Amino acid sequence: MLFNLFKKKPEVPPKKKVKIYPIGRITHYFSKLKVAIIDIEQGDITLDDVLFIKGSLTRFRQRVRSIEYNHQKISKAPAGYEIGLQVGAKVRIGDLVYKEIHSQG
């Protein structure tokens, strides 16, 4: 037991700071398909972005795997677009959508 005190502990990598920026809001939800319609009010959404969806009963993070605009798959959606996004949990109309940005430090 005494010798455990002198063992070198593994180095822990520095934590990444996460900033969230408001992107838009949920305007519709198709429960059978688990697809949310998001109105992008500012910024943009690209594939592999991490979104944070927050509402009165909703709170989860999700990576963007596909984006659809007018039934066509796209890789980037700028402000002003209303896109379809498959979600992993139930969302509600009016829920806010944020984009997570990771920074070292």
Tens-digit pLDDT profile for residues 7-58: 666 676 667 788 999 999 999 999 999 999 999 999 999 999 999 999 999 9
**How much is the average pLDDT of 92-104?**
91
Tokens 């002003």 sit on residue: 80
- Is position 7 within any domain? no
How far apart, in whole angstroms, are the C-alpha atoms of residue 25 and residue 73? 20
Helix, strand, coil % in the chain, rounded to nearest 5: 5, 55, 40
Q: What is the mean pLDDT of the chain?
A: 90
CA nearest neighbour of 35 among 3, 64, 8: 64
- Is position 4 within any domain? no
- Is position 70 within any domain? yes
How far apart, in whole angstroms, are the C-alpha atoms of residue 55 and residue 96? 6
- Is position 17 within any domain? no
How far apart, in whole angstroms, are the C-alpha atoms of residue 85 and residue 38? 7
pLDDT score at 8: 65
- Is position 78 within any domain? yes
Q: How many domains does the chain have?
A: 1
